[in-house]
Amino acid sequence: MLLDGAETWDWTDMEADFITPKKNKSRDTVNVLGNFDSNGFIVISSKENLIIHHPDFLLTATALSNASQCKRKPLLSALVHSSSDVTPSLVWGNTLHEVMQTCLLANRWDKAYIHDLIEDAISRNLSELVKIGVTIEEAIREVTLRSKGLRMFSKRYIAEEPKPDAVLTNTRETVNQSSRLAINEILDVEEDIWSPKYGLKGKLDASVQAVIAEITTEKHAKNAPVLSSHPMPLEIKTGRSIAGMEHRAQTMLYTLLSEERYGVEVPSGLLYYTQSEEVVRVPRGRNELRALIIARNEMAGYMTRRAKQNKVQEAFLPPTLDDERICKKCYALDTCMLYRKAVENAEDDSSPIAGIYELKTSHLTPSQAEFFKRWEALITLEEQDAVRFKKELWTMNAQEREEKGRCFGSMIIDPSYVPSQTGGTGKIHRHTYRFVRARDGLAAEDYPSLLNGHMTFGDAISISVEPELLALARGFILHLSPTEVVVGVDHELSIMKITSRLRALRKTKGRITPLFRIDKDELVSGLGRIRDNLAHLFYAEGDSKRLELVVDLRTPTFGDEQTTLDTLRDVPEYVEATGYLNPSQLGAMARVLSAHDYALILGMPGTGKTTVIAALIRTFVGMGKTVLLTSYTHSAVDTILLKLKDDDFGILRLGNPDKVHPDTREFTLSARKTATTIEQLENQIMSPPVVATTCLTIDQAKKAGLEVSLFRRLSEAHPQAVTDLTYQYRMNEDIMQLSNKLIYSNRLRCGSEAVANRSLVLPNRTFIDNLRESGNCLCLDGACWLEHLLDEKCKAIFVDTDQVPAFDSRVGDLVQNEVEGKLVYQIAEALLQCGVSQRQIGIMSLYHQQNKLLSHLLQGKNDIEILTADKSQGRDKDCIIISMVKSNETGQVGDLLKDWRRVNVSFTRAQSKLIIIGSRRTLGTTKLLADFLVLMDERKWVLTLQEGAQNLHPSLQPLQKLSLSCSTKRAGENEDIMIENLTVPKKPRTAVARDGILNGRPILKDVLNSD
C-alpha cells in the first residue's frame, strides 16, 4: 500500500500524471501536506493540499525551474558536474552578485565603496579571468558598467517605508492597481535551505524583510495604501531583464523555503533585474505551485529508480526532447547523447535529433558503451550510500544519529573562543567556531566523548538547530578533542538571529538557548566530477587516446631503452638522480623514460617506489617536461614531495591546506603572496613544472564483484609494460620475513647488509634499567615485558594479550580496545624515556576509533604519527606499534583484518622494530593471521603477557582519561565496524512526531533507514 488511508482519497479529482495509485510503489516515502479532518482523512486535489513523493530526494529549485522545457537536462546536470563551463556572462554575474550582497549586508551604496568591492571581488577571482581570457582592467570596466543601477536601487528601495518612486512591478495587478516596495532589513545572503518537507533545496541570493504598499485607484482617486510586511526571497538577475517562466518558478519555490526557514507566511518573492533596474513581485499561485510539485515528483521518481534492485532496470532519465533546434544548443548535449547510447541503448534513425545522435555517438563501439555503463553504475552505488547517510539528518534525531557515530548533539557555541584567524581562504571556511556540550546540569565527564564515532579532523559537516533549522552552515572539522570541536564553516552563526527565528518558529517570546547538532556530511558532488571525468573519455571530441589505452586496452608502445639512456646521459638531473639507484630501480627508470604511452612499476614494500618516482620527476623536469603527481591520499602525495623539498624547481600543491602535510604547505597557493595581477597568478599556477594533488576514487568495485584496479587491468592485459622492484631498503631482515613468507613467496630481498641487520638502539637505557629498582615494575619472576620489547635484539614481535585480558568494546557502532590502547601508550612512553625521538615512532590500527583513542592518550606528543593503513602508504618509521584491536570470546575478527592488503601495509612500515599487539585466540580464526602466528611461533617471536600486564608499571599510566564513552559493550558477532559505515540492519520503524528535523511535520508514513 502506498499510504494508509489512500483508498479513501478523491483520486478522480487528480491529474493522471500527478501520482498513479494503481502502481503499487511498495515502501515509497511520501509527505502529505494539508489539513486532515477529525477522522484523520485528507483529500488531495487540484484545489487543495499537496503530496510530496520521495521527499528525501532534495531537488534544487534552480533545476526544477528549468525543467519546464526539458526534464532530462536538470537530472543530467545533477549526475555529471562539469567545472569547465565558464563564460564571461557567468563571471560578471557572480561578481555582481557578490558585490550587491555585500552592499546589502553593510547598507553602504556609495560609489567609492562599490568600486572597492568590485576591485576586491575581481582580485580574489583572478583564476576566472584567466579562464575567459580578459584583463583586470576589462573586468573592472565590465562589472562597473553592469553595477550602475545598484545605487539607484538603494535610493528607491532601501527604506523603512515605501517611497513614491519605489515602483514594484506585479504582472497580476489590474489597471487600477499599483505597488511600492521598501526593504527595511536584510535577514541573510547566500542562505542555503534544505527542505525535506517539500523535497527541495536552494541557495537564496538574499532574504529581506519587505514592506509593500498596495494602492488602488477608484474613479481617479487613490485609496490609502494598504501596507503589509513579510520576509521575502530576493533573487538578483544580472542577465536578460525579462521575468520569464524559469525566474518566476524559481522565486515561487524559494517562497516555500523561506516560509519554512522563518516560520511566517511568505506569500511572494522578489526579482531584481540589474540591467533594467526593475523589481518584480512574484506571488505564489496555487496552480503554478502545484504544477511545479508535479514536475518535482516526476523527476524524483526517475531518480529513485536507480536505487531499486529490480531485475529489469527502469529508465532513470526522462525521454529526450527530440527538438533539433533546442537540443543542438543545449549545454548538456554530449552527456545526454552518451547516456542515450551507452546506458539506454537507444536506436534512432528517424527522430528529429537522429542526425545529432549519430554525430555524437557513432564513434562508440559496443564494448566502449558497456564500459561506460558499468562504471557509471558503480559510481551510482557509491552515490546511493552518500544519499542514504545524508537523509539521516532529518530522519534521525541527534541522539539517534550520535549513537551511530555520525553526529554531535546538544552542542552550544563557546562564546569565549577567539580564533587565531577569523576565517579561511575559501568560500567553505569563512567563519570559525568552537562548540562544547550544553551542560544541562551534567558534568563534562558524564557526556560521551566527542572522539567517539566516525567524525574526525577534516570531515565535512553540517550544523543545524533541531528540529527546525536544518543545515544552517556547512564546513569542516578543524580540531577535535573529547570535549570540544572547532569548525570552519561557510555561514555566520549569529545567536541573536537564530534565537529570533526560533521564537517565530516556536511561537514563543520566552528565553531560548539554541542547541546545535553537528552532523557528518556526505559530499556527493565529488562523484558528479568523477562521472564528468569518465564521460570525457567517451565524448566525440573527448580523450580518444586514453579511451584506446584504458577501455580498448591498446598495447602501449616503447622506444629503444638503450637509445633513451644514451640521450639521458646528457641530462645532469638524470645522472645525479640515478647515481644511488640499484639495478632494478634503474631498469624501472629506463622503462618509464622510454614509454610512449604508459609504464607500470610494481614495487613491493620498501623497494623504493617513492625514491624512483622522485628520481623520475627530477629527470622529467631536467628534460624540460611538466609533471602531474597524483595519488588517492594526501599522505602519499606529500611523502613524495618531501623528497623533492630541497630541489630548485617549482612545485604547486593543490588541495585543502588544512589536509596538506605542514612541511609541504609552502607549495600551496595559500602560502604564497596573493597575486594582484593576472600575470602574477599565471606565473604561480603555470610556471611550476610539477603540480601535485589527490584524485577522487570510488569504493564500490569490490562490493560489485569488480575488484579490478586500473593498475591490475593494464598489467594483466600487457605484462610487458610492468617492471618489478625487488630490493627493499626499509625493513630489517626479521621484519621483512613476515610479508616475504606470507605474501611475496620469498621474492623480497634486503638491499644491503646494513639494512638487513639494522635495529633500534636505545640512546639511553637508564630509565628501563631502573624501572624495577624504583618500584615501577611489578612484573613477576623478574621478567619485565617492557624491557623485553625494548631489547635491541627484539626486532619483530607479537604481543599476545589473551591472559591480560584485553577485550574489545563497542562505542556506538564502532570498535576500540582500551587495554591495547594503554599498552601502546606505555610502550611509546618507555621508548621516549629511553631517548627515542617522537619522529622515530609510528602507531597504527586499522580501526579509526582506536586511532582516535590513541590520539587522545598521546595528546601533546604531536610528532608521534598515528596512522591508518591507507594513510601510511609510502611512509616508514624506525619503530611501528600496531594495535590489532579485535579480541572477543566469539572469535569474530571482522572484514578489516581479513583484508590482506591493509594488513600487509601495516606490517611493512617499520625499519628496525615492529611490535604487534593482539589476541592470539581471536586473530587465529582467520587464515592469513593464523599463518602469521605460526610463523611467529617458529621464530620464537611471541611474547605472552601476564594477567593485568597493563597495570604493572605505575609510572607509565596514561595521564588522560582512558575511556572515551559513557558506556561500552563487549563487541561480538557482526560488530567489526569499519567498513565502518556498515551497521547491523534493524527492523524498519514508522516515524513518530518527535523524530529528527521533521518534528511536527505532517508526514503520515516514512520507513526510516529502509535501504
Greatest distance between any 2 Cα atoms in the chain: 112
Residue 818 shares a structural domain with residue 721: no
Q: Is the bond preceding residue 805 a cis peptide, omega within 30 degrees?
A: yes
According to the model, what pLDDT value does residue 962 have?
Answer: 60
Residue 574 shares a structural domain with residue 474: no
Beta strands in 382-450 (DSSP E): 407-413, 431-437
Is the C-alpha dihedral spanning 139, 142, 143, 144 positive or negative? positive
According to the model, what pLDDT value does residue 979 have?
Answer: 33
Does 538 fall in a domain? Answer: no
Does 928 fall in a domain? Answer: yes
Q: In whole angstroms, give the CA distance from residue 230 to residue 179.
A: 15
Among the residue ranges 168-182, 614-628, 954-968, the one predicted with the least confidence is 954-968
Percent of the chain with pLDDT over 90: 61
pLDDT class for 670, splitting at 50, 70, 90? confident
Secondary structure of residue 773 in the 3-state scheme? coil
Among the residue ranges 171-180, 252-261, 675-684, the one predicted with the least confidence is 171-180
Q: In whole angstroms, give the CA distance from residue 520 to residue 541.
A: 39
Residue 898 shares a structural domain with residue 780: yes
- Of 799, 779, 804, 775, nearest to 952 by C-alpha is 779
The residue to which cell 611523502 is assigned: 639
pLDDT class for 24, splitting at 50, 70, 90? very low
Does 490 fall in a domain? Answer: yes
Does 766 fall in a domain? Answer: no
Under a CB-based contact definition with an 8 Å cutoff, are residues 233 and 254 in contact?
yes
Secondary structure of residue 218 in the 3-state scheme? strand
Does 262 fall in a domain? Answer: no
pLDDT tens-digit readout, 709-758: 889 899 999 999 999 998 999 999 999 999 999 888 898 999 999 999 99
**CATH number of residue 948's parent domain:** 3.40.50.300
According to the model, what pLDDT value does residue 758 have?
Answer: 96
pLDDT tens-digit readout, 524-550: 667 888 899 999 999 999 999 999 999
pLDDT at residue 778 greater than cutoff 60 = yes
Residue 803 shares a structural domain with residue 927: yes
Residue 944, strand partner residues: 800
Choose the final residue of a domain: 693, 728, 763.
728
Question: What stretch of H or E contains 367?
Answer: helix 366-390
CB burial of residue 386 (10 Å; 0-12, 13-18, 19+): middle
Residue 405 shares a structural domain with residue 512: yes
CB burial of residue 119 (10 Å; 0-12, 13-18, 19+): middle
pLDDT class for 783, splitting at 50, 70, 90? confident
**b/e string for 465-491 if b means 16 or more Cβ within 10 A?**
bbbbbbbbbbbbbbebebebbbbbbbb
Pairing of strands 516-520, 407-413: antiparallel
Does 36 fall in a domain? Answer: no
The residue to which cell 562548540 is assigned: 435
Residue 514 shares a structural domain with residue 561: no
pLDDT class for 924, splitting at 50, 70, 90? very high
Q: In whole angstroms, give the CA distance from residue 718 to residue 913.
A: 38
The DSSP code sequence of 598-652 is --EEEE-TTS-HHHHHHHHHHHHHHTT--EEEEESSHHHHHHHHHHHTTSSS-EE
Q: Average pLDDT in the 147-155 region?
A: 95
State the cell numbers at 824. Answer: 601502546
Choose the final residue of a domain: 145, 171, 189.
145
The residue to which cell 538577475 is assigned: 237
List, in sequence order, the alpha helices (H) in 510-582. 525-536, 544-546, 561-568, 572-577
Q: In whole angstroms, give the CA distance from residue 663 to residue 886.
A: 35
Give the contacts of 810 (CB within 8 A, at least 6 positions apart): 968, 969, 970, 971, 975, 977
Residue 517 shares a structural domain with residue 654: no
Residue 839 shares a structural domain with residue 930: yes
pLDDT tens-digit readout, 364-412: 999 999 999 999 988 888 788 777 888 888 999 999 998 888 899 999 9
The residue to which cell 569547465 is assigned: 84
Choose the final residue of a domain: 934, 955, 970.
970
Q: Average pLDDT in the 328-348 region?
A: 94
According to the model, what pLDDT value does residue 424 have?
Answer: 54
Q: Average pLDDT in the 596-616 region?
A: 93
Question: What stretch of H or E contains 390?
Answer: helix 366-390
Does 33 fall in a domain? Answer: no
- Of 451, 499, 450, nearest to 472 by C-alpha is 499
Residue 824 shares a structural domain with residue 951: yes
Q: What is the CA radius of gyration of the chain?
A: 32
Q: In whole angstroms, give the CA distance from residue 662 to residue 849.
A: 24
Range of the domain at 492: 396-523
Q: In whole angstroms, give the CA distance from residue 219 to residue 288.
A: 33
Q: Average pLDDT in the 598-614 region?
A: 92
- The count of structural domains within the chain is 4
pLDDT tens-digit readout, 192-249: 999 999 999 999 999 999 999 998 887 677 778 899 999 999 999 998 766 688 999 9
Count CA atoms closer than 13 A to 9's CA, side-chain side.
24
Beta strands in 72-166 (DSSP E): none
State the cell numbers at 256. Answer: 516555500
Q: In whole angstroms, give the CA distance from residue 493 to residue 471.
A: 11
Q: In whole angstroms, give the CA distance from residue 643 to residue 611.
A: 8
Residue 455 shares a structural domain with residue 411: yes
C-alpha separations of 904 from 320, 667, 846, 898 in Å? 50, 32, 11, 11
Q: Average pLDDT in the 454-469 region?
A: 90
The DSSP code sequence of 787-840 is HHHHSTT--EEEEE-TTS----EEETTEEE-HHHHHHHHHHHHHHHHTT--GGG
Does 940 fall in a domain? Answer: yes
The 10 Å Cβ neighbour count of residue 563 is 10
Which amino acid does the sequence have at 13? D
The DSSP code sequence of 307-323 is TS--SSPPP-SPPP---
Percent of the chain with pLDDT over 70: 88
Secondary structure of residue 23 in the 3-state scheme? coil
No. of helices (H) and no. of strands (E), the chain: 35, 31
Q: Average pLDDT in the 580-587 region?
A: 92
Average pLDDT, the chain: 86
Residue 918 shares a structural domain with residue 779: yes
**CATH number of residue 515's parent domain:** 2.40.30.270
**b/e string for 184-203 if b means 16 or more Cβ within 10 A?**
eebbbbbbbbbbbbbbbbbe
Rounded (10°) angle between helices 634-644 and 609-622 = 60
Q: In whole angstroms, give the CA distance from residue 450 to residue 484.
A: 7
Residue 633 shares a structural domain with residue 685: yes
pLDDT at residue 175 greater than cutoff 80 = no
